[in-house]
């Protein structure tokens, strides 16, 4: 199962249509999403969907998944084609993130949900804590309003200016 999780489509195509990690990636993406979503839902009972959803996106995204894959040194174990090899595929965020999701899918199939959940949370709890502490999931306007309210400054007033032609307006 691990070998399949680490088999990129470029390798599979070069060697006669071997199975790829794409199905495991699909499964792993869903398992990862469920585990992180449940953790956020449980850990932050006062946050509504409008805050939880961007918080989840701040924790589970291509860059974050690729970073964990790098920490696991996953790149050195990937089975990638010659073309990907020559263009630095072992260190591409997209390939690392996809392979990480495939690894999660393989772990789930081998060990079941509870053990997979433990493993995922070990990897993601620090990111969840720091994302919430840094206010990830809050747009800048909301962050400013909350800061002003916390300091007793009232609600900020906004002035919007527009520029550019009618078909391509910019607002600041």
Active site residues: 29, 101
What's the CA gap between 14 and 7, in Å, rounded? 11
Report the number of secondary-structure helices (H) and strands (E) in the chain: 9, 2
How many angstroms separate the first and last alpha carbons of the chain?
51
Hey, is 162 helix, strand or coil? Answer: strand
């Amino acid at each position: 199962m691990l070998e399949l999780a680490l088999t990129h489509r470029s390798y599979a195509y070069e060697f006669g249509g071997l199975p790829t990690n794409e199905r495991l990636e699909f499964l792993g993406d869903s398992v990862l999403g469920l585990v992180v979503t449940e953790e956020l839902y449980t850990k932050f009972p006062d946050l509504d969907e409008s805050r939880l959803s961007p918080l989840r996106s701040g924790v589970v995204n291509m860059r974050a998944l690729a970073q964990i894959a790098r920490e696991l040194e996953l790149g050195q174990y990937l089975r990638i084609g010659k073309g990907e090899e020559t263009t630095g595929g072992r260190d591409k965020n997209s390939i690392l993130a996809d392979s990480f999701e495939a690894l999660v899918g393989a772990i789930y199939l081998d060990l079941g949900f509870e053990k997979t959940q433990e493993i995922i949370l070990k990897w993601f709890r620090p990111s969840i804590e720091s994302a919430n502490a840094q206010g990830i999931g809050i747009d800048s306007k909301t962050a400013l309003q909350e800061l002003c309210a916390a300091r007793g400054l009232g609600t900020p007033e906004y002035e919007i200016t527009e520029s550019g032609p009618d078909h391509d307006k910019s607002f600041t």
